[in-house]
Amino acid sequence: MRAFTGMHPSLILLFISFSFSIAIRDTVTPNNPLPDNETLISSDGSFSLGFFRPSSISSNLYLGLWYSNITPKTIVWVANRKDPVINSTAVLSISTNGNLLITNQSSTIIWSSGVTNVTNPVAQLLDTGNLVVRSDDDGQSYAWQGFDHPTDTLIAGMKLGVDFTKGLNRTLTAWTSSTDPSPSQYYVMMDIRGSPELVIGEGSEKMWRSGPWNGEGYSGIPETLTYSGFNFNFTNNKQEITYSFTTNQSLVSRVTVNASGIVQRWLLVDSSGLWNLMWYTPSDQCDFSPPCGPYATCNPNNSPKCDCIQGFKPKSPDKWVFRDATDGCVRKTPLDCKNGTDGFLTVPKTKLADTWNVTVDTSLSLVECKAKCLNTCACNAYAPSDVRNGGSGCIIWTSELTDLRVFVSDAYGQDLYVRMTAADLGSSSSTNSRKSNSHKWLIIIIVLALLILILACIGGLLRRRRKRRQTRGVLAVTTSFHDRSNRRVDNLELSGGNDLELPLLDLGTVQSATDHFSNANKLGEGGFGPVYKGRLRNGQEIAVKRLSKSSVQGLVEFKNEVMLIAKLQHRNLVRLLGCCIEGEERILVYEYMPNKSLDFFLFGKSKDQVLEWPTRFKIIMGIARGLLYLHQDSRLRVIHRDLKASNILLDEEMNPKISDFGMARIFGGDEAEGNTRKIVGTYGYMSPEYAMHGVFSQKSDVFSFGVLVLEIITGKKNRGLYLADRHTNLLDRVWSSWKEGNSLQVVDESIKSSYDMNEVIRCINVGLLCVQNHTEDRPLMASVVLMLSGDSVLSTYPKEPGVPLRRVPHQSESSSSKQDTSSTNEMSMTLFEGR
Ligand SMILES: *[C@@H]1O[C@H](CO)[C@@H](O)[C@H](O)[C@H]1NC(C)=O
Ligand SMILES: *[C@@H]1O[C@H](CO)[C@@H](O)[C@H](O)[C@H]1NC(C)=O
Ligand SMILES: *[C@@H]1O[C@H](CO)[C@@H](O)[C@H](O)[C@H]1NC(C)=O
Ligand SMILES: *[C@@H]1O[C@H](CO)[C@@H](O)[C@H](O)[C@H]1NC(C)=O
Ligand SMILES: *[C@@H]1O[C@H](CO)[C@@H](O)[C@H](O)[C@H]1NC(C)=O
Ligand SMILES: *[C@@H]1O[C@H](CO)[C@@H](O)[C@H](O)[C@H]1NC(C)=O
Ligand SMILES: *[C@@H]1O[C@H](CO)[C@@H](O)[C@H](O)[C@H]1NC(C)=O
Ligand SMILES: *[C@@H]1O[C@H](CO)[C@@H](O)[C@H](O)[C@H]1NC(C)=O
Ligand SMILES: *[C@@H]1O[C@H](CO)[C@@H](O)[C@H](O)[C@H]1NC(C)=O
Ligand SMILES: *[C@@H]1O[C@H](CO)[C@@H](O)[C@H](O)[C@H]1NC(C)=O
């Protein structure tokens, strides 16, 4: 590598002027050790070797290697990563017998290379970046070389893998952190079992595999085929099984494993240290330790991502329905070796199944390979070991096919031939799809029939309720009816729907992410149980809701509900990332919102961070869009029923995300009839018809939205219902100032300097329209969004806001409807399919 050739002339000048004080050198000899204030520079200037501190405050010195002309320093190799020189100066020297030594101020040996039989030794930094120890008499063979002991980086010319003759096992091991070079638990190694492949491991666990080398590249990294200017070299013989790469002169590239166990290939863009990430892994859902189980293919672009190979069926259909494919698939018809009618199904564009337990014979042709598989009763599949020139060589699987993935791009992946009985081969994919199509139709018909039934019933009930208004019995019936019928619909949706992917996390992952639910990570206590902050292995931050044991509900129902919520995806809704169900544990994992919730900013005691008007307007628009999605645009029609400031979370850019939708039906929602009669939600945000009669519709959410808008504008909380003095009620205050034509007087003092008058007035107007007493008068969210964005003229003058004062709290409800308490316990969601 001659990265130095691209060096700026002034830098070269700098080196020349430098050379007046110290001679540039690339060697260490017994008479000429290297103190920690000097560096070795390879003869063409590409690489430098010297002592460095991983951070400016660190007292640890390490001997490291970096590209001379790339700033900031990119350390690619560390000699003494486990043994820093602490609180002392350091020297690199070589003993007269060739042992490379790092010593501290008191000449204690901190690190040594361990090779002690070299005469006339010299240590030299080569242009490749390799630090070698050789005898001065012999320029060719190296007694020791840095390239044999990689750190976390593979640079051009360095080998990864096993050398049997020298007894070397070269692996990459990640730094513990960006300021600590000591080895972490993540490593990349050559797994030499079966057909060799690269593996990312964490401790003894295999996290990712590259797939075997197929002559062109690794079966699972087809991207490398498109790299120009690169040469990849995979050597597999009796002496060594190694992988290395070289680049043509103009390219500088390196492969690293980072502290989160992610392997990345970088390409230098310019010498100012700008590295372009060319490729990394694990990168998609199919990369992380096999999600699909035996005989299932993983395709990250499909939903669900796992699919049985044709001729196979899910081993555990119950789990399969819930996207848990870890049990994999089994043959529809068991192989009967003696019959002699078996054939092969071609599975195209695959990353070959795990090859750790295969037999490889490179001398066979593909035809011979097929014959060999047919003649071996245990043979499940075969593939060529070299795909070049139409394919040659033979890989035979006698164990199960695991970790099989397919690529979408036609240029990627290779054919795998899976043995199958004649009967299963005959069932071509077209019959399969016809079958699933007829399934789909069946489901659609059932859903439609149910919809019509539900609508008819709702119609009937509404009519009845109108007659018997204010009779509480009706309320109970209505509510429980919705819950029942909707659940039935959901079940069907789930087993039929094909577009949902919710990862089931295992408890261990969640535990390690939250440090075993440590108190330090606790964010708060919600109605269902504590919420923790966590960090996944890949660095992603998450919020973990651990449902209290008391609220545990049937497994099937729980999964059903969670899947339902997972279907709701919108940039203004908090996203459910996954869930965990193990034993008694019911855990929900959400994206983490660093900025807490809206109420902290609006009503927080300190109010230290003022939300300026543009941000508030953005928040209002975001909530409106999120709500519009829930009401109209999502496939399910969702009524949130508990919209309030504390349920609006804010991301790092202060984008609002509606949270906590739908939880109530999971917990304490309707196990008992008595519970359903509870009116859920938070007084202060509740529409009058809902608070008094339990009648809810999209328009009750619109009411809550209106309250929220007025709170955001005024920075004041809307008080609940039971205040004697009507005039302390926020809605009334805004309403009366509006009537007086002086609506701007209610605007939050702290934004008086930043607001846009027209926008504020428009928002107050929309807010008042939303909180009108009669549901018919309130706009739908679709028109709210239009009005807010100014795309629609505000022609309607709002009528008096609704304030349900007359209702007396019932004994059984008072506990759940105290004003201002977080009512997450009781918050609820209701679905209407159809309008
Ligand atoms: C390195 O340190 C030694 C002793 O402290 C000093 O004699 C020498 O001049 C220094 N070299 C440079 C390049 O600063
Ligand atoms: C290093 O030196 C600093 C201050 O001189 C001291 O506080 C610290 O304890 C020392 N660390 C070690 C490991 O000796
Ligand atoms: C050198 O290292 C040894 C062993 O770690 C330590 O005991 C000694 O104090 C160090 N000397 C200095 C000057 O730091
Ligand atoms: C040095 O010792 C190693 C084994 O420790 C041996 O393989 C090698 O051949 C020796 N080299 C010389 C020059 O004697
Ligand atoms: C190489 O090292 C890795 C990790 O240290 C280990 O898992 C693997 O078994 C070793 N391979 C050989 C051939 O010794
Ligand atoms: C090196 O690779 C670059 C990028 O692919 C190419 O443009 C250039 O011609 C190559 N140079 C040589 C000498 O092969
Ligand atoms: C690949 O590496 C082997 C030794 O590891 C070497 O003999 C061979 O020449 C290399 N091939 C290419 C094309 O660089
Ligand atoms: C490792 O790389 C991934 C992917 O680029 C990145 O998301 C993650 O933050 C990195 N981890 C560390 C500790 O740098
Ligand atoms: C590996 O394959 C052999 C047959 O080739 C089989 O007997 C053995 O059980 C397999 N090992 C595992 C762990 O599946
Ligand atoms: C062999 O397979 C054919 C086709 O699947 C089937 O019709 C026949 O019954 C099988 N014979 C035996 C002995 O299993």
CATH superfamily of 466-592: Phosphorylase Kinase; domain 1 (3.30.200.20)
d(CA 685, CA 688): 9
Return the ligand 10 atom nearest residue 423 CA: 5
Cβ burial of 450 (10 Å; 0-12, 13-18, 19+) is middle
Mean pLDDT value across residues 799-823: 46
Phi-psi region of 501 (alpha: psi -120 to 50; beta: other; left: phi over 0): beta
pTM: 0.59
Q: Is 642 a catalytic residue?
A: yes
Band of pLDDT at residue 96, cut at 50, 70 and 90: very high
d(CA 202, CA 183): 12
Return the ligand 9 atom nearest residue 398 CA: 5
pLDDT by residue (tens digit) across 274-321?
A: 888 888 998 888 888 788 999 999 998 887 889 999 999 999 888 887
Q: Look at the alpha carbons of 141, 143, 149, 150 in this order and tell me if their dihedral is positive or negative.
A: negative
Among 328-332, 609-613, 659-663, the range scoring the smallest mean pLDDT is 659-663
- Of 357, 359, 401, which is best to mutate to test ligand 9, by the most ligand atoms within 8 angstroms of its C-beta? 357
Asked if 22-149 and 466-592 have one fold, the answer is no
Mean pLDDT of the chain: 79
Band of pLDDT at residue 695, cut at 50, 70 and 90: confident
- Of 331, 332, 336, 339, which is best to mutate to test ligand 10, by the most ligand atoms within 8 angstroms of its C-beta? 339
Span from the CA of 168 to the centroid of ligand 4 (angstroms): 14
Note the ligand closest to the C-alpha atom of 98: 4
Note the ligand closest to the C-alpha atom of 119: 4
Is pLDDT of 145 > 90? yes
Question: With pLDDT > 90 as the criterion, what percentage of the chain qualifies?
Answer: 41
- Of 281, 284, 538, which is best to mutate to test ligand 8, by the most ligand atoms within 8 angstroms of its C-beta? 538
Band of pLDDT at residue 594, cut at 50, 70 and 90: confident
pLDDT by residue (tens digit) across 174-208?
A: 999 999 999 999 999 999 999 999 999 998 889 99
Q: Is 105 in the pocket of ligand 2 (CB under 6 A)?
A: no
Check residue 585 and give its pLDDT. Answer: 80
Contact, 788 vs 621, CB < 8 A? Answer: yes
Check residue 526 and give its pLDDT. Answer: 60
Contact, 366 vs 394, CB < 8 A? Answer: yes
Among 45-49, 752-756, 810-814, 828-832, the range scoring the smallest mean pLDDT is 828-832
Mean pLDDT value across residues 679-708: 79
Per DSSP, the three-state class of 148 is helix
Band of pLDDT at residue 671, cut at 50, 70 and 90: very low
Span from the CA of 181 to the centroid of ligand 2 (angstroms): 19
Where in the chain are the domains?
Answer: 22-149, 155-283, 296-425, 466-592, 597-833
Check residue 12 and give its pLDDT. Answer: 44
Q: What value, to the nearest 5°, has the Cα angle with vertex 410 and ends 404 and 412? A: 50
Is pLDDT of 131 > 80? yes
210 token code pair: 């590259």
Q: Look at the alpha carbons of 747, 748, 753, 759 in this order and tell me if their dihedral is positive or negative.
A: negative
pLDDT by residue (tens digit) across 718-758?
A: 875 444 455 567 888 888 888 887 888 888 888 877 788 88
Pocket of ligand 7 (CB under 6 A): 233, 235, 242
pLDDT by residue (tens digit) across 757-775?
A: 888 888 999 999 999 988 8
Tell me which residue of 621, 623, 599, 625 sits closest to 611, measured CA to CA: 599
Is pLDDT of 835 > 60? no
Check residue 556 and give its pLDDT. Answer: 62
Is pLDDT of 21 > 80? no
Among 126-130, 354-358, 473-477, 496-500, the range scoring the smallest mean pLDDT is 473-477
Q: How far is CA 11 from CA 45, 68, 146, 286, 570, in A?
A: 11, 10, 27, 46, 51
Q: What value, to the nearest 5°, has the Cα angle with vertex 84 and ends 79 and 89? A: 105
Which protein residue's CA is at the shortest distance from atom 6 of ligand 5?
189
Which protein residue's CA is at the shortest distance from atom 5 of ligand 2?
87
Is pLDDT of 484 > 70? no
Band of pLDDT at residue 107, cut at 50, 70 and 90: very high
Mean pLDDT value across residues 428-436: 41
Amino acid letter, residue 635: R
Contact, 438 vs 432, CB < 8 A? Answer: no
Q: Is 745 in the pocket of ligand 10 (CB under 6 A)?
A: no
* CATH of span 597-833: 1.10.510.10
Q: Is 339 in the pocket of ligand 10 (CB under 6 A)?
A: yes
Contact, 83 vs 113, CB < 8 A? Answer: no
Check residue 256 and give its pLDDT. Answer: 97
Mean pLDDT value across residues 546-555: 63
Contact, 696 vs 686, CB < 8 A? Answer: no
Which protein residue's CA is at the shortest distance from atom 1 of ligand 9?
357
47 token code pair: 């690489």
Is pLDDT of 479 > 90? no
Span from the CA of 292 to the centroid of ligand 9 (angstroms): 20
CATH superfamily of 22-149: Bulb-type lectin domain (2.90.10.10)
Of the listed 403, 642, 670, 701, which one is catalytic? 642
Q: Is 105 in the pocket of ligand 1 (CB under 6 A)?
A: no
